[in-house]
Structure 1
């Protein structure tokens, strides 16, 4: 009798403990279930980490362009008209339009009907006086190659800088060897990086009347020397940035004098910089790295000492996409990437973060 009473009392006293244990177990299981189903290995699809997603500056616009079938060649360059909202895409291939025109909304406008472009490399659109125009660098070896050419927005050739079909290193008259890219500042001054693997390894600044302001560079690894200067841009405080592809670094020069100001190489141990452009808010450089299929964002230093390179964000593309050159819409903030391997151009838009 005593034994039964003792057992009865023990079970009765244990009920609250059992209930608490069951509640804790249930709550623990409930808390673990979302983690289980969010696991990519369990759910069968990839989810970006909320912590990383909060830091992403840009996201892919999957609806641009609306008709990608118009890409019929290898896409090497892209340029955005800052006023007319037109995106120009330079491509290579047999029997293809060397330049395609799209709106920023993704609608196809037209392809240029011109035979004066052989192998387009860089392309730049400007709306400066007296009329909008598009500049194309041509690295071909035929009768139109080794030049920087100015076209109307519809593709009519206006003028040619350089000696067509003749590679060389002379400056008077201008003579290029596979000029890689051109950039025109808001003042109308032009920067040309010459060249894309040819004899020349130099940065040239031209005034509005196309007279030479200054020249920097020769082949080498020292300051102010280049090995395949590939892209160029100017920031808002009077510095010129050059993607020195072969040397895996960005070099910086004073826009007025051409004086060397420094270089960055710590961000390019994995792959060289192929492009350099400013985001529309002027806070970051956009740099494509072709061999590792990556677009990175580097913090723009304030006026003065450029300091060290600081990477703030990355867009990792699929294998063999091969991003080459980029451009930025000053109006919408969108980034356009020319992709040689994927044979397309893609648009990335600012990611609105809460």
Structure 2
């Protein structure tokens, strides 16, 4: 009888262990998925120093993503996130709060194929800039909208690809960065005839430009993203050449190149964290978001990867933007057809 009772006790204990293991696996699996959107990709790994973690609750209605998500832009002063998507019969821009609430959509017919986006939050009247790489009557342009989606102005010649400067012409312009001064930095284009970095004045006059295709210094092959730091340096994701090139924002002089960090895949997007410590760089084909040490003033040196967010296969992160007040990172993901929010560990506590 004693042996039988011991056997029953062992069986019960084994069952409890199996139950605990099952619940652990079930919890771990469910914690990486949004409860209302099982098709959205929430799996990721952190490599190196853990700097960001996924905000599983943003947005509150992820089912609103119905197209291929190409770009995000944040206005940190108003707490608004703009998401640009492509697709047939889908709203081209979705607007969310930084807390995740859905605010509105733009059902504008003036956007064909949005590519890059920038929220100009420095002025008294905030606006949103979007690059359009479409081949129709509204394509090959850069457009400025009100926060509600009203078209204000167009840079470029609508529907006509070109390289002209007076009047301005673009061919699949990839991205725009608007400085607090009102000066504009444009990378043009996303696979078209142009491979240009252009700086425009506030009045849209060309101040300087690099426009040669090639692999040499200050030459480009598919310049894809651009940002400007506080040290008067312009950082360009030179996608086709698998490198980032750096220029003086005042003179346009070439300052340096980072290439050793991008041997496996090209940089698609480049942004600077609010604390000025790291550059956030996206690599689409390897599904990675990397954080690189930002060099001190006067020194470019070699790139150094500090942290990597490894996304699951076929997510295809494209362009990113950061909330310069809260520090949150927003990622546009073409393959997963979604935008995701990552928050600094200092704001969200531990990973678990």
Could you say whether these structures have the same fold, taking a TM-score greater than 0.5 normalized by the shorter chain as the test? yes
Unpaired runs of 5+ residues, structure 1, are: 1-36
Query: Paired residue for 1:332, among 320, 326, 338?
Result: 326
Distance 1:305 1:104 in 2: 35
CA-CA distance at 1:282 after TM superposition: 1.0
The Cα shift of 1:113 comes to 2.0
- State TM-score, norm by structure 2: 0.85
Structure 2: distance between partners of 1:295 and 1:164 = 34
Q: Deviations over 1:187-237 (max 9, x none)?
A: 121100000000000100011111111101311000000000000000110
Partner of 1:97: 91
Find the partner of 2:191 among 168, 185, 197: 197
Residue equivalent to 2:67 = 73
Question: Does 2:152 match 1:168?
Answer: no
Relative to 1, partners in 2 of residues 1:285 and 1:54: Cα closer, same or farther, differing over 3 Å?
closer
The Cα of 1:305 is off from its aligned counterpart by 2.2
Correspondent of 1:154 among 145, 148, 154: 148
Cα pair 1:285 1:300 within 8 Å, conserved? yes
Alignment map for 1:116-127 (pairs within 5 Å): 116-127=110-121
Q: CA deviation at 1:69?
A: 1.0
1:128 to 117, 122, 126: 122
Point out where structure 2 has 5 or more consecutive residues left out of the alignment.
1-17, 32-45
Alignment partners' CA distance in 2, 1:235 and 1:132: 20
Deviation of residue 130 (structure 1)?
Answer: 4.4
In structure 1, how many angstroms separate the alpha carbons of the residues matched to 2:48 and 2:141? 44
**2:48–2:307 Cα contact (<8 Å) kept:** no
1:241-269: per-residue Cα shift (whole Å, max 9, x none)? 00000000000000000000010000000
1:269 to 263, 268, 273: 263
Distance 1:345 1:90 in 2: 9
Find the structure with the greater CA-based Rg.
1
User: How far 1:270 moved relative to its partner?
Assistant: 0.9
1:53 Cα shift? 8.0
1:345 aligned partner? 339
Aligned to 1:300: 294
**Structure 2 residue matching 1:286: 3-state secondary structure:** strand
Report SS of the residue matched to 1:122: strand
Structure 1 residue aligned with 2:241:
247
Separation in structure 1 between the aligned mates of residue 178 and residue 57 of structure 2, nearest angstrom: 30
- SS at 2:267 equivalent: coil
SS of 1:172's equivalent? coil
Distance 1:217 1:248 in 2: 18
Deviation at residue 153 of structure 1 after TM alignment: 0.4
Question: Helix, strand or coil: the match of 1:115?
Answer: coil
- What is the CA distance between 1:115 and its match in structure 2? 0.1
Q: Among 148, 172, 177, which residue is 2:171 paired with?
A: 177
* Residue pair 2:47, 2:308 contacting (<8 A) in 1 also: no
Higher relative contact order (CA 8 A, sep 6+): 2
User: Counting strand residues as a fraction of each chain, which structure ranks higher?
Assistant: 2
- Aligned residue for 2:276? 282
Q: CA deviation at 1:186?
A: 1.6
Instruction: State the distance in 1 between where 2:323 and 2:211 align.
Output: 30
- Aligned to 1:250, what secondary structure does the other structure show? strand
| TM-score between the two structures when normalised by the length of structure 1 | 0.85
Deviation sequence 1:263-301 (CA, Å, 0-9, x none): 000000010000000011111000110000000000000
Distance 1:245 1:54 in 2: 24
1:318 aligns with 2:312: yes
- Structure 1 residues 53 and 239, CA gap change in structure 2 (3 angstroms): closer
